[in-house]
Structure 1
Amino acid sequence: MAAISLRKMEETAPALVDAYRSAGVSLRKHGLDGQRAAVYLVLDRSGSMRPYYRDGSVQALADRVLGLSAQLDDDGRVPVVFFSTDIDAVTDIPLAGHRGSVERIAAGLGHMGRTSYHLAMDAVIDHYLDSGATDPALVVFQTDGSPTSRPAAERYLCKSAKLPLFWQFIGFGDPRSTQFDFLRRLDELPVPQQRIVDNAGFFHAGPDPRSVPDDVLYDRLVGEFPSWLAAARAAGVVRPS
């Protein structure tokens, strides 16, 4: 059963109903029907991301993540971290105010800098711990390039493996770009030598992320979540359901 009912979605965010339905199909396909989880969204604001903000790709991702969140979490909002050289903003996007939300928030954030993964990861960790949440969290982490500090990003990923956080990285841009080599390596860091469980996944959304169908996107966003949940429960990272 979804955390937020179809009727409430129709009343609160009718434009997201199709995405909500597609997310539900993917969750059921992967054995996650009825699973509860906090959903976070991390958005890259480095200078190279400017075209994706302009063409609506980032807003489209945020809307689809809201549709997924409504299946997993009943609070009707997604915590969002905008990052570049530093943390540009930590805020929430609610179902009721989702239209144009990314554009409104980004318009007041000023200069688009570099790509500091580790600061964004730290912000998510702090938010999750401060929230007092007991459910696990699925963190959708969007970027179009490699981080300014690879050792720091790797360190934060490995340290956070002891927390009930799963990082699903999604790349915007040319899948053949070497910018994504680091994320491929993060996805394959050994267990248990460097982290207690495999707590990350990665996939490309390509140069036109809006063209990825909802069913494909959701399958990729949640595809590795069940195996992480099982491993994290076995390791005592996530409490038994």
Structure 2
Amino acid sequence: MEAQAPALLDLARTAEAGLAKQGLTGRRATVYLVLDRSGSMRRYYKDGTVQHFADRVHALAANLDDSGVLPVVFFSTDVDGVADIALDDHAGRVEALHNDLGHMGRTNYHLAVQAVVEHYEKSGSKDPAIVVFQVDGAPTSKPAAEKALCQAASLPIFWQFTGFGDPEAKGLDFLRKLDNLTVPEKRPVDNTGFFHAGLEPRELADDELFQQLLVEFPEWLAEVKDADILR
């Protein structure tokens, strides 16, 4: 962590405190960031909100992941791009990559889920993974999203969904109801969490953001160990 830029160091210390509150000090995990590039996300990229959010996920990765990179998946109608962003070269990178990706489309969650699963399996990692999956609307295909998440539950990957936008909007009801994907009928463990970061996510305090990103992770870790998914 000492090799990181001062701004990331400050954020990383806040993330470290958040990990300690959840009893996760010293825990190793692969961290992924998935970013929604549907058309309705345009203003959040333009005003810097997405880069601001990504910087905080980088700080989390600086504490959990020894690889020195944060894999980022951009998705809309398709998977628009996948990049491993170095923790010591993260400044402005998400914004720059987004600007090079062109058209912003629909919201096919399942393709992003599949991209993360493929990356994780190819990596050969023995650590669990936490995926910070940012969206501002419902999946274009709810059945496809549900199927992909249930299939992924047999892997040591936790999906922490984070909503942007109007907290009263119905578009994220799919995520609010993820607990309805029953265990063990539909999936071996509950592998998903959700919280809403609000209409203006940059206004959420860093310590509160880290708390929300991590609150369900310890319980999931216990469940995947009990289910012999994580050895």
Residue 206 of structure 1 aligns to a residue whose secondary structure is coil
What are structure 2's unaligned runs of at least 5 residues? none
Q: For residue 80 of structure 2, what is the aligned residue in structure 1?
A: 88
Q: 1:178 is aligned with what amino acid?
A: K
| CA distance, structure 1, for counterparts of residue 23 and residue 150 of structure 2 | 26
Q: CA deviation at 1:172?
A: 0.2
Query: 2:100 pairs with 98, 108, 116, which one?
Result: 108
1:207 aligns to 2:204 (yes or no):
no
Q: For residue 217 of structure 2, what is the aligned residue in structure 1?
A: 225
Q: Count the aligned residue pairs.
A: 231
Q: For residue 167 of structure 1, what is the aligned residue in structure 2?
A: 159
Residue 177 of structure 2 aligns to a residue whose secondary structure is helix
1:179 aligns to 2:168 (yes or no):
no
Q: 1:109 is aligned with what amino acid?
A: L
Checking the alignment, whether the CA contact within 8 Å between 1:187 and 1:202 is kept in structure 2 is no
Describe the superposition over 1:74-132 as per-residue Cα deviations: whole angstroms up to 9, x where unpaired: 12210000000001001112122211111110111110000000000000000000000
Q: CA deviation at 1:187?
A: 3.7
| CA distance, structure 1, for counterparts of residue 213 and residue 40 of structure 2 | 23
1:195 aligns to 2:187 (yes or no):
yes
Describe the superposition over 1:118-175 as per-residue Cα deviations: whole angstroms up to 9, x where unpaired: 0000000000000001100000000000011100100011111100000000000011
Q: CA deviation at 1:19?
A: 1.1
CA-atom RMSD in angstroms: 0.8
Q: CA deviation at 1:195?
A: 0.8
Q: For residue 21 of structure 1, what is the aligned residue in structure 2?
A: 13
Q: For residue 66 of structure 1, what is the aligned residue in structure 2?
A: 58
| CA distance, structure 2, for counterparts of residue 187 and residue 215 of structure 1 | 25
Report runs of 4+ in structure 1 exceeding 6 Å deviation.
none
Checking the alignment, whether the CA contact within 8 Å between 1:205 and 1:212 is kept in structure 2 is yes
Q: 1:238 is aligned with what amino acid?
A: L
| CA distance, structure 2, for counterparts of residue 183 and residue 158 of structure 1 | 13
Q: For residue 33 of structure 1, what is the aligned residue in structure 2?
A: 25
Residue 22 of structure 1 aligns to a residue whose secondary structure is helix
Query: 2:113 pairs with 121, 124, 128, which one?
Result: 121
Residue 17 of structure 1 aligns to a residue whose secondary structure is helix
Q: 2:209 is aligned with what amino acid?
A: L
Q: CA deviation at 1:16?
A: 1.0
Change (3 A) 1:188 1:20: farther
Describe the superposition over 1:167-190 as per-residue Cα deviations: whole angstroms up to 9, x where unpaired: 000000011100010011124421
Checking the alignment, whether the CA contact within 8 Å between 1:13 and 1:95 is kept in structure 2 is no
| CA distance, structure 2, for counterparts of residue 13 and residue 41 of structure 1 | 20
1:152 aligns to 2:144 (yes or no):
yes
Q: How is 1:41-60 mapped onto 2 (pairs within 5 angstroms)?
A: 41-60=33-52
1:76 aligns to 2:68 (yes or no):
yes
Identity %: 60
Change (3 A) 1:187 1:54: farther
| CA distance, structure 1, for counterparts of residue 125 and residue 112 of structure 2 | 19
Residue 129 of structure 1 aligns to a residue whose secondary structure is helix
